[in-house]
Every structure is written in C-alpha cells, then in structure tokens.
A and B are shown apart, each in its own frame.
Chain A
Amino acid sequence: MKKKLKPKITVFHCINAINNCESLPIPYKDTFKLKSVKMACSSMVKDAFLLRAFEAGSDAVIVFVCPEGQCRYVEGNIRAKNRVNWVKNLLDEIEIGGRRLSIHNIANGDTEAAVRIIRQVLADINELGPNPARH
C-alpha cells in the first residue's frame, strides 16, 4: 500500500509579526511538516524563494507579514504582497495552483491568528491534494 505523504507547509514570516513559527501551539503537530523561514522584514521574500519552497516539496506556502501601515521598514509588507500576487499568477500559469500560496497580515505576536491560518491552510491542502510537482 502506498504510504500517505504528510502535508508539508513552509512559512515565511517577518519576525516583527511572528517571532517563532515552530513553537506555535498547533494541534496534531505530528500529522504535518512545518518549515519556518525567519526574515528581518517580509520584503526579503523573493519570487524564486517562494517557488523553491514548492520545488522542495511544500504543498502550501504561507507568508506572514505585519499589518498594512505598521511595517517597520515602511513598505516591506506591501512589496511582499505584490510579489506573492505575482507568484500566485505564475503558479496558476504552470498549473501548480495559486491557492497554495497565501499572504496574511498578522499583528505583532498574534499567535492565535497564526494558528488559525495554518489550520485553515492544512484544511485547504486536504481539499487541493498534494503539490502536483511533489513526487
């Protein structure tokens, strides 16, 4: 029987929004893999980094950024949002699915919201199925 793959999520996060994603109190943590990528500002996220997370086998990629108007570096979260939207279109174009990538504004230290979003993304993966480029 073919072994069912554990869903894999990569979270890119600004440390001013969420400092540590790996210690988030997410229930049933052993049922999925979570890779966290810390950034000094969400503007550091690049198109290629997001795509490479999918190349590395992620079923979904989440980007946590500060609320609009609250970026310590003025417009980092706006830049991240524009890039994520660009890559979502690219993922649709190559039929991986733009829905697998999402960006969320998180107030500083709002772990409850972060957990809620990750659980929602896990539910979405259940519906979408595994990353079609993950073999």
Chain B
Amino acid sequence: MIVGKQKPIAEIKEIISPYKKVLVLGCGTCVKTCFAGGEDEVATLSSALRLSCKKEGKDIYIEELTVERQCEDEFIREAAIAISKNSAVLSLACGAGVQAIARRFGDVPVLPGVNTTFIGVLEKQGLFTEECLGCGDCKLAAFGGICPVTRCAKKLQNGPCGGSQNGICEVNPDTECAWQQIITRLGNLGQLDNLKKYNPPKDWRPSHAGGPRKLVREDHFI
C-alpha cells in the first residue's frame, strides 16, 4: 500500500487560509490503513481545524467526506456535490488522489493534506516500513523475496558491502542489513547458489528516471 503522513496542522492552516469553505476529503483505502487520511483522520483534522480557527476568531466552514478511493474516477464522482458547495478541497489522499481530484474538478483548488511517503507494509500495529521502490523491473526471485533496491541503503545487486555489523546497516543503525537478510533467507530456501549468479547493473529506464510511466491494457479498453 501507499504510506503517507498527515502534514502538520500549522502547514495545513497556511494552505487553506485563503478559503472560507473547505471540504476535507478523505480516502478509504491506503491512507486509511496508515492513519493519515481515512474517515477517522478526516473527523479529527476537521475538528482540530475548526477549534484552531475559532480560537483565532477566523470564520471558516469545514465539511467532511470520505470516499472509497480518490484515485478512481468512479469513486471521485460521489464527492461532486460536496465539492460544488465548497471553495476548496483539502485532500487527505496520496499524491495520485490529489491529482485525480484536480483533473476531474478543473475549477476547484485541490490542496494536499498528506505527505505521500512510500510503498510499504504494515510490519506491526503502528509501524510501516518501505518495501518497494516501484522500479518497474522486479528481481525479487533472485533475492529470496527481499528487495535490495529498496532495503539496501546502497542498492547493491551483487552481495553485501561489508560494512554492516551484527546484521545492522552501517548507514542507518535503525535498519537491518538487507543483504544479511537475503543470505539468511536464501540459506533457508536452499538457494544460496543464487549468490554465484551475476546481476548486471540495474536498468533504471523502467523506473521513474525515465519520466512518468504509463501502463496500457488494451484488453480493458471500452
């Protein structure tokens, strides 16, 4: 899932300051799971903004709505009436959701309330870790299902750098060495021979380095 973090209240207040009627629009998919922009977060943020503005004597109307997904037009349409009643939308979706709303409603300012952070997993309750860089050329089969592109600070493709100590990365002591994990996992799978294979330098063209990407499935065109 896409993991995001809500922006500080002060930044959000600054962003919405030119507007008197704001729709706080949540997204019920990825950002809900990471507690950044689901229905609960929409209610909490809206309440905090109302309290803060009231304290400062500012007159503002804040409406709340959460749609199932902000990155799909079918769900965005449900927000059309609420959007038409407000002068701006504060979207608590990821960057894709914010842009999808902006594309659909051309004459309404759409403002981001969340910093989109990474593609990751829920490692345990309250802890999200980055697991995928979206490089466009997945080689997880060679690495026992552990991605060195994302999880190795140096993105090494052919074995560890030698700098880790006790399984901990030398770049960041909060991070486990991805190559230590890859070797342990390949050992458990009986696939240590994978380490003898040479992995050529990574082709970054399918990644974002090649500009914005598109996925075309002609069989789904109508």
Contact = CB atoms under 8 A, between A and B. Distances in A.
Interface of A: 46-48, 51-52, 54-55, 90, 93-96, 132-133, 135
Contacts of A96: 51-52, 55
Contact of A132 (B8, B40, B43, B55): B55
B55 A93 contact: no
Contacts of A55: 47, 50-51, 54
Given A52-B47, A55-B50, A93-B8, A47 B40 contact: yes
B140 interface: no
Q: Which 6 A-B pairs have the closest CB atoms?
A: A48-B43, A51-B47, A94-B52, A133-B54, A47-B44, A133-B55
B51 A94 contact: yes
Interface in B20-67: 40, 43-44, 47-48, 50-52, 54-55
29 contacts: A46-B40, A46-B43, A46-B44, A47-B40, A47-B44, A48-B43, A48-B47, A51-B44, A51-B47, A51-B51, A54-B47, A54-B51, A55-B50, A55-B51, A55-B54, A90-B9, A90-B44, A90-B48, A93-B9, A93-B48, A94-B48, A94-B55, A95-B52, A96-B52, A132-B55, A133-B50, A133-B54, A133-B55, A135-B54
Interface string B100-122: 00000000000000000000000
B40 to A, nearest CB: 6
B38 to A, nearest CB: 11
B141 interface: no
A110 B170 CA distance: 53
A90 to B, nearest CB: 6
B81 interface: no
A48 B40 contact: yes
Nearest to A87: B44
B162 to A, nearest CB: 41
B55 A95 contact: yes
A123 B50 CA distance: 27
Contacts of B8: 93
A54 B49 CA distance: 12
B40 A93 contact: no
Contacts of B50: 55, 133
Given A93-B9, A93-B10, A94-B9, A133 B44 contact: no
Given A46-B43, A55-B47, 8 more contacts: A48-B43, A48-B47, A55-B50, A55-B51, A55-B54, A132-B55, A133-B52, A135-B54
